[in-house]
Structure 1
């Protein structure tokens, strides 16, 4: 793992103070309880420099361990009060300076007795319905997991506390996009948050046997009495809102609702002056303060030891949560308690229950998903906190999808035969429709592959080339100038016969020499990636996919060729707009993307087209009549106004069986000619309006690669080689995805999905303002 001091070497006291002081000037609001503005310190920089030594002393002392979390908090409070003069900005600068140098790392391993990870999880008896008899259930608590499975727990709760831990769900200010935390009095989103809260309540009610009395056929009573449950919430209103909806599911016939108690352990993170701020804006402000790119700034903000200005670190939250839940268990022996909390506190709990060390579990759960783990069942006994489940409370659809994904993902990893530093050769091919950027990716595969000692080979014309054994060695000579070539310099093809298993078997004979120590890299769209998945799952070929399609219709990534296609289309569209503005002409520009309107949307939005006709639209005929013709009725005759519409190929409509621009131009021209304002009047000479179609078609596939596409290609190719050499289990059987700010991720080939159409952008196009 990369040492923090190498990836955070941009962090300085001056940068931290500038950043912290900028944030401290944020103004609180009714729902935002920001820390008080600190008093001006005469020389805050010198105070922070002096406090750095005190932080080092604190860390050295911490290595010996703490009796409990209270002792850790007391030592940290003393550090803040005595050595930072109670100035949160001085503490922020000193603490994070030590973080950047790697000197805080020992804190992740210090022994805090009440927070030490459990050595084991309590065994769980899961019984299918067919095996659940009255004799087996006698003297036990029976909990319904759904799917005809039941958990059996000891009936006697003496010396044992059961805890049902739930997170609030979707709130008005979402933690996916904003720093929420305990200082923001957040409330559930009425449209999405309330249904989510209801689903959590229904899951818990089913679990404890309230719903439909699932065990009636066994003549068993409901062992847990929901009316006797204790309830604990945080200060944030959304946890109390969750409580009311869960209680309504647990005790549907009761008019009196229990009064919950506030529990500090259920509070979310303290983000100090960053509370309520958009995460993207936070990262941009940090990048500006330190003079680095956003990705580098995020490396600081995402560290578990990073202390927010005026707040705390995730590690501090982790200590508070785990110690606090132990306290709840000790204070309520023999009882059942419902805990209503937040995603960050539930995430801390999941890290604690994970058998791996803190830093490994933190990495695993760093991207905690909002839809997961809504109910976690815990037991506190013999001074230990154990987890029974971290996957209860999902909707049936979510649970089935999650279990299926986990099963297939296990199978993917089991098929990875390569070990680190074992790969010797790399075979690359381009499949499906061609696209710009393929040359840049291929060249980077060759360059980086050679640097890592790999023998690199290219396959001409994709899967067709595999079937024909068109596999050729590649040298530096072959890839000269390749980065700037349009389309694929090694050819591509649509080879439908590759779906035939006999053709696949023939291709495998040619790949046989490469199966033990090689990786095959497939560049292409969704069909090509399906082919890659087939040879991985059916024949064990160690394969990696790279997304390449001008349609940009693969979810979770930007595909190679998309930006270049948009750039080339824009040149033609701008020329047509100029002509339209000068002559009053009406242009319909057809671009590729049958069944996928992402390219058409990008072209139309960038050009501020007056309309966009795509396959995704539920009623293209109505769109033609209401939007296209309606817009023209309003704008025809406006001086210097262009009239341009973008159409995705083969979009169906009633004016021609082939759809797209076919028949559309004639229909629009004929309709306009009937409008009264277009009728010839005496002593007037009207402007002749030409209605034309321009089909850009395959010119977009052969677009010259833009710098952006070349950059994306190089990032994808470099990370492909590096990861397959160093950690093949993380990338083999996956597609390598390019995301915002240059982030590279991997998506298992079995999880590659179609990108949803951006209806929000489509709606923005159709605002009240007229186009340019």
Structure 2
């Protein structure tokens, strides 16, 4: 990584050894235990000899480890055999390879359950105004505050529910000191105990103990805190937190389950730096390396930086993620409360974030120890899904506001394009293809011609940038482009773009177009994450346009969505006709990348009898209660169609792949057992066929509807005019627009998933919402 080599060029083996030895000579503070120091003669020479062994360890790790234990064993072997058991030699050799960029492949190495899944089950969060008795009935309802509720299946068989929280204010504060697992820390009496009580009160409200849980729905508290399992770290402050939270969850006359120590909840190991003030740590490192403290922090804050006598944040990340999966597997069917530390929560939030490790770490690199969050985790089908909620609404609002101001200031500072300076634009389409891309490209070119701006196109998205497939189209090539289905310049999914070496190649290819130029990226959330990398990391003047048939970006209508719904409707009407004629039951699967917006729109427009989506808190219950219930009521009605829409990847117990897989067979077998399906003597029944139809990629190549073409032209026009007249209002942003309305700019750093429309879902099922204010 060239940029890292430049930033860390001051890191030398001699300085690392000197710093490690200085830290090892420290006297342990009260309550801390330091690792033993091995005797050694020439650590500088030994560390240089160990550097190739560290590189070899990285090469082997890229081949994969089955679990965290295998990774730990290999790392310990490197210390014992490659570094003679000397922790200072290991510290120097490891961080010397880090400074040259040689450890980066570890972030992509497959380590068992630590690998981020390609898709996650979305958390079913329903606003109070969209919550109906039918949605909440028979389910666990968790109060998240701010009139939002998380719905979970009542039956936890095969599932686990985990509440994870940090200890709060302690005697030695992690805001100012390196605390870690080697210091027996306790809660500070003046602020720490009240903070712990606040966490307990928030959790009690969340699970409904204090009786605030939707009285209008006549719900009982579905969670019994007496059955909770409690797990703590070996640090006294987590035991204290457990005692305060348990006191809030359970009255004094009830027995509390004892807490168990679990190593997965331990904080990071800072080795000989344990107990040191962070400012003094940076100053000591600066002296050893001959730089100022600010420069030294660039090394210390790297997630792969290994502390002398301790480990790195990445090592902690591996242990936490693997350990939480282990805890979840061992508590299936129940609820566990986990009491831990800020570094552990930071690792967990980094894992839950859908972005690659290095991007998520950058986002949460400044995790505030003062944020008392409860991270809610649901485990099913081997995967963790989660949601982090701050304790206290006012604190969450204040934190969000401060973060917004800070990040927006940084975005504005990266805008280098000035008014009337734009001379060239490079445009690409990335990710899954969609209708309307051609209309946007045509308008970019036409508008560019009027403004004297050269417009270049990239074939096949980020892959094309890496291959330098950048070109200008002739007038003949532009003809008819606005009405072309899909993307006339191609698109692709290019996972290798996450590799920093590939990013450097892209920057070399873009360099001729960046002077007085900008890049326009059309695509979904993954493509816009790529655009954000180019903007924040390399300073490329980027504008994003929403293009995805999934329509899963909050605050905007995405190009391609309406065209996909229109094409799907033709197929659905045909299936309804044959279903009515033949008495067949059709399950139609549509795309959506795990989101149910496309499925909901298709189902509502086609007046389907049911819709199975990933967002539903309990798809298995929906299948048994709604789908089979509707069929039982409507089967046998003359000329009645039976149509159900299924979003791809929606999980259920009938097949590991979810969606329509296994669903059709289960429904057919269940229907066959009903008495109404059996023919009486002398009575011949209409044979009911249950069929699956996967529309899949046919919806991506839909002809663009007038809505998508108009919206695409609107986006393209606004993009160029803003880049010319007010670049700060577009650069580093996604341009967003409803079907009818003004174009707004959403900073790339604040793009969020679109909330599922539970009100439309309920309306489709005939539910009347009683919660109108």
Q: TM-score, normalised by structure 2?
A: 0.53
Match of 1:263 in 2: 262
What's the secondary structure of 2:71's corresponding residue?
helix
Structure 2: distance between partners of 1:168 and 1:248: 15
* TM-fit CA distance, 1:416: 6.8
Match of 1:53 in 2: 52
1:117 and 2:116 aligned: yes
Structure 2: distance between partners of 1:327 and 1:67: 13
What's the secondary structure of 1:249's corresponding residue?
helix
* TM-fit CA distance, 1:372: 2.5
Maintained 8 Å contact 1:167/1:340: yes
Match of 1:188 in 2: 187
Residue deviations 1:7-54 (CA, integer Å, cap 9, x gap): 111111111111111110112244011112x23213222221111111
Structure 1: distance between partners of 2:207 and 2:398: 24
* TM-fit CA distance, 1:240: 0.7
Matches within 5 A, 1:654-669: none
* TM-fit CA distance, 1:370: 2.1
* TM-fit CA distance, 1:173: 1.0
1:72 and 2:65 aligned: no
Match of 1:319 in 2: 318
Matches within 5 A, 1:360-379: 360-372=359-371, 374-379=373-378
Match of 1:645 in 2: none
What's the secondary structure of 1:3's corresponding residue?
helix
Matches within 5 A, 1:248-259: 248-259=247-258
Maintained 8 Å contact 1:371/1:394: no
Structure 1: distance between partners of 2:105 and 2:267: 24
Structure 2: distance between partners of 1:213 and 1:28: 48
Match of 2:210 in 1: 211
Match of 2:176 in 1: 177
1:138 and 2:137 aligned: yes
* TM-fit CA distance, 1:414: 13
Matches within 5 A, 1:298-337: 298-337=297-336
What's the secondary structure of 2:338's corresponding residue?
strand
* TM-fit CA distance, 1:373: 5.2
Maintained 8 Å contact 2:38/2:85: no
Specify which structure has the bigger relative contact order, considering alpha-carbon pairs within 8 angstroms and separated by 6 or more residues: 2
Match of 1:31 in 2: 31
Structure 1: distance between partners of 2:355 and 2:17: 35
Match of 1:400 in 2: 397
* TM-fit CA distance, 1:152: 1.4
Change (3 A) 1:417 1:240: closer
Match of 1:19 in 2: 19
Count of aligned pairs = 433
Structure 1: distance between partners of 2:142 and 2:259: 24
Q: TM-score, normalised by structure 1?
A: 0.53
Maintained 8 Å contact 1:244/1:257: no
Change (3 A) 1:421 1:165: same
Higher Cα Rg: structure 1 or 2?
1
What's the secondary structure of 2:378's corresponding residue?
strand
Match of 1:342 in 2: 341
What's the secondary structure of 2:161's corresponding residue?
strand
What's the secondary structure of 1:50's corresponding residue?
helix
What's the secondary structure of 1:163's corresponding residue?
strand
What's the secondary structure of 2:40's corresponding residue?
coil
- Of 108-117 and 367-376, the range deviating more from structure 2: 367-376
Structure 2: distance between partners of 1:123 and 1:290: 46
Structure 1: distance between partners of 2:280 and 2:332: 46
Match of 2:223 in 1: 224
What's the secondary structure of 2:211's corresponding residue?
helix
- Of 66-75 and 325-334, the range deviating more from structure 2: 66-75
Match of 2:234 in 1: 235
Structure 2: distance between partners of 1:423 and 1:52: 50
Residue deviations 1:359-396 (CA, integer Å, cap 9, x gap): 11111111111232510000111111111x11x24213
**RMSD over aligned Cα atoms:** 3.0
Matches within 5 A, 1:282-297: 282-297=281-296
Structure 2: distance between partners of 1:16 and 1:124: 45
Change (3 A) 1:184 1:415: closer
- Of 120-129 and 355-364, the range deviating more from structure 2: 120-129
Structure 1: distance between partners of 2:290 and 2:413: 43
Change (3 A) 1:147 1:254: farther
Match of 1:355 in 2: 354
**Structure 2: runs of 5 or more not aligned:** 423-515, 518-540, 542-726, 734-748, 750-773
